[in-house]
Amino acid sequence: MATKTQLFSYDDVEHQEIQAFLKSIKSREKSKYIRLALKEYIDRHGFPSSDMRNDPSKRKETKKQPTNNSNNDFRVDADPEFLNLGK
């Protein structure tokens, strides 16, 4: 097993929530939380492919259906460990 490093970028104005979250956790834990977020995405949506980007009907169905009891468009039903990231 080898440790791999990936650099990623984000816009500090457009993605203020990402910046705030990354600043709220210890620097040595950032990779852990990025891995958890990626695993949560993969569990819900599978792996992206060029076919998926071009044809939304080929996308994998999500495992959990969001509840409709909120007007918040950003509400996500996620694993409790994922929701407590940075706390």
Residues 6+ apart with CB under 8 A from 76: 66
pLDDT of residue 56: 56
Examine the pLDDT at 13 and tell me if it is beyond 70.
Answer: yes
Domain ranges (residues) in the chain:
12-45
pLDDT of residue 49: 78
Max Cα distance, the chain (Å): 45
For residue range 39-84, list pLDDT tens digits in order: 999 999 998 875 555 555 655 555 555 455 545 455 556 666 666 6
Residue of 23 and 60 predicted with greater confidence:
23
pLDDT of residue 74: 52
